[in-house]
Amino acid sequence: MTARIVVLASGNGSNFQALVDASEAGTLDASVVGLVCNRSDAFALERASVKGVPTTVLTPEPGEPRPTYDARLAAVVGAMAPDLIVLAGWMRLLSMPFLGRFPHRVINLHPALPGQFPGTHAIEHALDAAVLGEIDHTGVMVHFVPDDGVDDGPAIATAIVPIEPGDTIDTLSERVHAVERTLLVSALRETISDAPWRAGPGSS
């Protein structure tokens, strides 16, 4: 059964693009049935338009409590009947009014290894640590999001990314992003073949 994937993204959308490309190429048994962005200026929206993927922009209201926004988000995403929801550069924390509705179905991509550099600017933090001589590599992980922990949850796949002497934020970011696009697709391929969400209570 082809998996229905909904992607949540806030920015560039290169990983959204990788999922759409792999689905179209038949290397991932999936269909990206929707893209939801929390920002109307997210470049991911333009990528979706080119590919004909339906989009929704859901901007938080000024002062809107997180659980209220997340309940609205859950309604929008639930209407798309996703098998899996992929956070691909989704730069908002999600709370239980969203996550509780989609157990075993929410997957996050993060540009660091488990337990290292959660939150924003993970690649910058890794480069800073390398300059201090504390680390010589960083990495990428794809993991389930069972609760409101930040870039935390059971790992599906990880990959190490070396930090080279003389790396700048641009060279390291490029190396990390190249690994991310491959790892995200392969992790989803594994998840879809294992199909853990089919044991769950459903998405609607």
Active site positions, annotated: 110
Q: How far is the CB of 68 from ligand GAR (least distance, A)?
A: 22
Q: Which residue has the tokens 């504390």?
A: 134
State the amino acid at position 170 in one-letter form.
D
- Per CB under 6 A, the list member of 15, 56, 95, 203 interacting with ligand GAR is 15
**Residue whose beta carbon is closest to ligand GAR:** 89
Number of residues engaging ligand GAR in binding (CB under 6 A): 16
Closer residue to ligand GAR in complex, CB, 13/34: 13
CA distance 64 to 109: 26
Q: Does the footprint of ligand GAR cover residue 151 (CB under 6 A)?
A: yes
Residues 6+ apart with CB under 8 A from 106: 84, 85, 87, 94, 98, 99, 144, 145
Q: Does the footprint of ligand GAR cover residue 114 (CB under 6 A)?
A: no
Closer residue to ligand GAR in complex, CB, 171/195: 171
Q: What's the start-to-end Cα distance of the chain, in Å?
A: 18
Q: How far is the CB of 12 from ligand GAR (least distance, A)?
A: 3
Q: Does the footprint of ligand GAR cover residue 9 (CB under 6 A)?
A: yes
Residue 167 CA to its chain's centroid (Å): 25
Does the CA dihedral 7-11-15-17 come out positive or negative?
A: positive
Question: Mask 176-195, x = binds ligand GAR (CB under 6 A)?
Answer: -x--x---------------
CB-based contact 54:34 (threshold 8 Å): yes
- Per CB under 6 A, the list member of 3, 7, 13, 82 interacting with ligand GAR is 13
- Per CB under 6 A, the list member of 11, 97, 103, 146 interacting with ligand GAR is 11
Residues 6+ apart with CB under 8 A from 89: 9, 10, 11, 12, 13, 14, 15, 16, 44, 109
- Per CB under 6 A, the list member of 7, 106, 109, 172 interacting with ligand GAR is 109
Which stretches of the chain bind ligand GAR, using CB under 6 A? 9, 11-16, 88-89, 109-111, 122, 151, 177, 180
